[in-house]
Amino acid sequence: MRTVPAVPLSEEQTRQLNKIVHSGLSSVRLSQRAQIVLLAAQGLQNKQIAQQLNIGRIQVARWRERYLEAGLAGIARDLPRGAPPVKVDQAKLAQMTLHSTPKTAARWSTRKMAVELGVSPSTVMRHWHALGLKPHLMREAKGSGR
């Protein structure tokens, strides 16, 4: 049987965690995390805590570990979800849109520009709108002077 790290708590820490558990103002997530830590401090294994709280054993292990690493702050914050936002160099985007063309076409499409910059087509479109660029109209404006 694996042994899990003990969670030693001072009286003050126990009081803080109990306050979170019994407070009507704490979020359900934070209250559950505080319960995990309190049960871990009593010497219960992750599997036992998971059964008692009707949650997954891995979730119990995660919050036990985060409390041991960072204390109350470790269970109070969630880690960001999803991929980090992609940074687009708007100056480069505008320069390419206004002063160059793709190798295989007469004008930039959102898909071609997205491939060139390594972002999604919706990201290109969002930045074009923010910059007031309309590449689909540029071709018509250039062609009207023939």
Spatial neighbors of 74 by CB under 8 A, at least 6 apart, are 66, 67, 68
**How high is the mean pLDDT of the chain?**
87
Structural domain boundaries of the chain?
Answer: 11-76, 90-140
**Chain segment 88-116, per-residue pLDDT in tens:** 888 888 998 888 888 888 889 999 999 98
- The pLDDT, as a whole number, for residue 139 is 54
**pLDDT beyond 50 at 14:** yes
pTM score > 0.75 for this model? no
**pLDDT beyond 70 at 146:** no
Residue 3 pLDDT class (50, 70, 90 cuts) = confident
**pLDDT beyond 70 at 142:** no
- Decide which of 137 and 128 is more confident: 128
Cα–Cα distance for residue pair 77/45, rounded to 1 Å: 23
- The pLDDT, as a whole number, for residue 111 is 93
Element at 17 (helix H, strand E)? helix 11-22
**pLDDT beyond 90 at 87:** no
